[in-house]
């Protein structure tokens, strides 16, 4: 073995530690480092693709950090779109209950938008238009899923030399559910200050709307036009100063709607400023682009367009077709139930392990069938409840009269349970129950030599259809209950009989899984190699590859 090969093989072992699947990937180089861990480019020997592997160290040291990782990998599994970075694989940990690191395999991107802006000073109006189009197209998909990204900035937009952009880093994202259209969240951090909407400045407790992401996209677009950040505030007060320098002092009505009291008092005491025309601030930009930018940077959230409305702007004529841009199904409450309660380190470890299994279909199948011990309740009961819950959530308030899915048994099929005590029961119900069971004659039970009373022991037989189907933890036949009171009478009535489970009773447990992305979503993907317009297919603009290579040398990047 050559020295270089030995060195690279050693690096693979050091990077993957105890993870057996690591042999599938050949590490090439480190492309990013941070407090979370390290990102390496690698070659997937199974698919022949180049990928980026993000190793996150000691994820359970702080429950808040582990929850953020869980949130991100769950959202990236649910949000599959050409303009959102894709998780290709997550390595299976060596131990389900003791793993500390996680290896997430992403598609490899060459740079990020921050580096592209720094290294390319000759971007054209076509670049600006195509970049903004992709960002709004991805944002439309995210918002139709009822997700707010909350941390959009150039470093969280990945880029390739063919001008393809992808939104990443969903660690601060939140889901707003249908019954709470204006969501309220506690947080200690919302977006980098420079890209933070004015309604969030200085506020630790805020109402969010999708307009906060639209503001961030406006700031990113302005940075593309000028090559430098639009609002580089040193603190909250300075941030509000430079915002109002460009946009003018907001109206008293707008100030009254600012939730933070200190920010509201500061804006009220501020000297009156007139807005600067955007044509003066951005002298060489397309007037249609500036008109859209002015709408996205409106001080009041209600005055900003939605992502879908922005895509319908005249600026994108011939490039975007709103009806063609895919939308997402809203994320269900069950997927993010953990956000609504306090969870322990063990809880989040189990939830992350469950997400990892999504990338290992055979192990996921065994997990759901109960072939391995699990800390959850019986999957059949849990998942059937989830189906009922999702059904009610979808149809509640729509006036529908369709009955929800019936609750199937999770343990005992009650029509086949018989009681041998002398409690008074409804005879019709008992008769009906007995009619559902087939009765066969068996040999007489042995006598108790001490008392001379037949022993009331009822053998339980597995129906023919269930032979060989039993697994640990599964109920495969009826359970008969009796007590010793009146044992002789019970024996006389039942000792000649064997209860056989009614084959009409369903023995299938509901197939279970967390809601998965529909295969139909793949058909909705837009062709990324070209953009269809009114004049046929428009090729994507290319920017100089050598400048992308220069961009890759930048430090501190967190792209995958």
Tens digit of pLDDT for each residue in 13-51?
467 766 778 889 999 999 988 777 899 999 999 999 999
The residue with greater pLDDT, 212 or 6, is: 212
Asked if residues 255 and 268 have their Cβ atoms less than 8 Å apart, the reply is yes
Kindly give the residue spans of alpha helices, DSSP state H, lying in 17-92: 63-78
Residue 55 annotated as part of some ligand binding site: yes
Which has the minimum average pLDDT: 277-281, 309-313, 528-532?
A: 528-532
Which has the minimum average pLDDT: 63-72, 281-290, 416-425?
A: 416-425
392 falls in which pLDDT band (50, 70, 90)? confident
- E strand or H helix at 86: none
Tens digit of pLDDT for each residue in 236-269?
889 999 999 999 999 988 888 777 788 888 889 9
In whole angstroms, what is the distance from residue 449 CA to residue 344 CA? 57
Residue 96 C-alpha from the chain's centroid: 21
Average pLDDT of span 360-388: 66
DSSP 528-556: TTEEEETTEEEEPP---HHHHHHHHT-SS
DSSP 255-310: HHT---HHHHHHHHHSPP-PPPPHHHHSTTS-HHHHHHHHHHT-SSGGGSPPHHHH
Tens digit of pLDDT for each residue in 331-362?
988 888 888 888 899 999 999 999 999 999 99
And the tokens for 124?
């054209």
Average pLDDT of span 316-323: 83
The structure tokens 């308030």 sit at 397
pLDDT at 541 over 90: no
How far the first Cα of the chain sits from its last, in Å, is: 31
SS3 label, residue 20:
helix
And the tokens for 219?
């700031």
Residue 293 C-alpha from the chain's centroid: 30
CATH 1.10.510.10 for domain 111-326+525-552, yes or no, is: yes
Boundaries of every domain in the chain: 3-107+331-358, 111-326+525-552, 414-464+474-500
And the tokens for 552?
């890759």
In whole angstroms, what is the distance from residue 355 CA to residue 349 CA? 10
Q: Sign of the CA dihedral 439, 441, 443, 447?
A: positive
In whole angstroms, what is the distance from residue 406 CA to residue 403 CA? 8
| pLDDT value at residue 447 | 54
Which sequence positions are flagged as catalytic? 151
CATH 3.20.20.220 for domain 3-107+331-358, yes or no, is: no
The residue with greater pLDDT, 430 or 513, is: 430
And the tokens for 203?
């506020």
Tens digit of pLDDT for each residue in 476-493?
434 444 444 444 444 444
Asked if residues 268 and 251 have their Cβ atoms less than 8 Å apart, the reply is no
CA angle 539, 324, 398 (to 5 degrees): 165
The residue with greater pLDDT, 51 or 365, is: 51
């Amino acid at each position: 073995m050559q020295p270089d090969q030995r060195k690279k093989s050693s690096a693979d072992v050091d990077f993957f530690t105890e993870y057996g699947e690591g042999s599938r990937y050949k590490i090439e180089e480190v492309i990013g480092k941070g407090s979370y861990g390290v990102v390496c480019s690698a070659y997937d020997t199974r698919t022949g693709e180049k990928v980026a592997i993000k190793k996150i160290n000691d994820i359970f040291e702080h429950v808040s950090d582990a929850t953020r990782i869980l949130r991100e990998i769950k959202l990236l599994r649910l949000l599959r779109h050409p303009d959102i970075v894709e998780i290709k694989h997550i390595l299976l940990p060596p131990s389900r209950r003791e793993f500390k690191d996680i290896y997430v395999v992403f598609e490899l991107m060459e740079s990020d938008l921050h580096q592209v802006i720094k290294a390319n000073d000759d971007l054209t109006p076509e670049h600006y238009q195509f970049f903004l189009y992709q960002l709004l197209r991805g944002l439309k998909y995210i918002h139709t899923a009822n997700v707010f990204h909350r941390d959009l900035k150039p470093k969280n937009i990945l880029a390739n030399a063919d001008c393809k952009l992808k939104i990443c880093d969903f660690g601060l994202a939140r889901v707003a559910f249908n019954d709470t259209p204006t969501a309220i969240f506690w947080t200690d951090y919302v977006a980098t200050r420079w890209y933070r909407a004015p309604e969030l400045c200085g506020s630790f407790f805020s109402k969010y709307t999708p307009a906060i992401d639209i503001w961030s996209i406006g700031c990113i677009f302005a940075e593309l036009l000028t090559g430098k950040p639009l609002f580089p505030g040193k603190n909250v007060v300075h941030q509000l100063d430079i915002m109002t320098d460009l946009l003018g002092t907001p109206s008293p009505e707008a100030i009254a709607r600012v939730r933070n009291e200190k920010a509201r008092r500061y804006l009220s005491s501020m000297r009156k400023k007139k807005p600067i025309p955007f044509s003066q601030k951005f002298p060489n930009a397309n007037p249609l682009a500036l008109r859209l930018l002015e709408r996205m940077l409106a001080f009041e959230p209600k005055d900003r367009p939605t992502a879908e409305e922005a895509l319908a702007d005249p600026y994108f004529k011939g490039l975007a077709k709103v009806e063609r841009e895919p939308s997402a199904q809203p994320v269900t409450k069950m997927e993010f139930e953990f956000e609504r309660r306090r969870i322990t380190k063990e809880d989040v470890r189990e939830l992350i392990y469950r997400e990892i299994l999504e990338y290992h279909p055979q192990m996921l199948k065994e997990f759901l069938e109960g072939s391995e011990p699990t800390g959850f309740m019986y999957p059949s009961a849990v998942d059937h409840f989830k189906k009922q819950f999702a059904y009610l959530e979808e149809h509640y308030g729509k006036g529908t009269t369709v009955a929800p899915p019936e609750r199937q048994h999770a343990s005992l099929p009650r029509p086949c349970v018989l009681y041998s005590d002398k409690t008074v029961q409804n005879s019709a119900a008992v008769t009906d129950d007995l009619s559902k069971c087939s009765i066969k004659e068996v040999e007489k039970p042995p006598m108790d030599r001490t008392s001379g009373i037949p022993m009331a022991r009822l053998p339980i037989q597995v129906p023919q259809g269930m032979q060989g189907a039993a697994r640990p933890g599964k109920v495969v036949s009826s359970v008969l209950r009796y007590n010793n009171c009146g044992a002789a009478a019970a024996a006389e009535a039942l000792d000649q009989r064997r209860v056989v489970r009614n084959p009409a009773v369903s023995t299938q447990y509901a197939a279970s899984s967390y809601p998965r992305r529909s295969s139909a979503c793949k058909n909705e993907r837009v062709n990324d190699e070209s953009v269809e317009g009114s004049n046929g297919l428009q090729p994507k603009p290319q920017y100089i590859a050598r400048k992308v290579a220069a961009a890759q040398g930048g430090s501190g990047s967190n792209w995958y």
